[in-house]
Structure 1
Amino acid sequence: MATPRQDSSPKGFRPAFYRMKDVIRITSLSRPTLYRRIAAGRFPAPVKLGGRASGWSAQALQAWIDNPSGYAAEPTADDPAS
């Protein structure tokens, strides 16, 4: 008999960083659309977490969720336009 899986995370838990799979699920945008919007400055860029891993901070993702049509990425220090 299979037992139902218990969720071990506490209620209200939010990860510090979201991976691509989670961002696609949350935003309902495809991977190519996300990268086009990142290049255009209309979606937050991922943060390098180490090695090949990268993710989006919960705060950056929430900023986009709060205003998806008006979101403008913050210029970065290595951005030649800044």
Structure 2
Amino acid sequence: MTTPRRDSAPGSFQPAFYRMKDVIRITSLSRSTLYRRIAAGRFPAPVKLGGRASGWTAQDLQAWIDDPTNYVLPPNASE
């Protein structure tokens, strides 16, 4: 379950983290394609949330959405 975050616009909510099912819906990519692109540095890696849970931040997804064909993992993202 994602935790909603209140944005500046009244009544608009944005999740703090997007889970796999949301990322698949947003990107229209399959789970295996996402994992291949993550391994190749062509898609942002998920953030560990605890236990088996992980998710993507809205900023990471937006960076990929802005330019999916030329997206390259930022150099400081591996730290």
Band the TM-score falls in, shorter-chain normalisation: 0.7 to 0.9
User: What SS does structure 2 have at the residue aligned with 1:17?
Assistant: coil
The structural deviation recorded for 1:11 is 3.6
Give the length in aligned residue pairs.
69
- Note the residue ranges of structure 1 that are not aligned, 5 or more in a row: 1-9, 78-82
Q: Distance in 2 between matches of 1:11 and 1:26?
A: 21
Q: CA deviation at 1:12?
A: 2.4
- The equivalent of 1:12 in structure 2 is 12
- Aligned-partner Cα distance in 2 for 1:52–1:12: 29
Match in the other structure for 2:31: 31
Structure 2-normalised TM-score? Answer: 0.81
Q: Per-residue deviation at 1:13?
A: 1.0
Tell me, in whole angstroms, the C-alpha distance in 1 between the residues paired with 2:64 and 2:57.
Answer: 11
- Of all paired residues, the percent bearing the same amino acid is 79
* CA RMSD in angstroms, aligned pairs only: 1.5
Runs of 4+ that moved beyond 2 A = none
User: Which structure ranks higher in relative contact order (CA pairs < 8 Å, sequence separation ≥ 6)?
Assistant: 1
Provide the secondary structure at the position in 2 that maps to 1:64. helix
Counterpart of 2:73, as a letter, is A
In structure 2, list runs of 5 or more residues that go unmatched.
Answer: 1-9
Secondary structure of 2:56 counterpart: strand
What TM-score comes out, normalization by structure 1 length? 0.78
**What's the CA shift for 1:16?**
1.1
Write the deviation string for residues 29-82 of structure 1: whole angstroms up to 9, x where unpaired: 0000000000010000000001110000010001000110111112312xxxxx
Which structure shows the higher helix fraction? 2
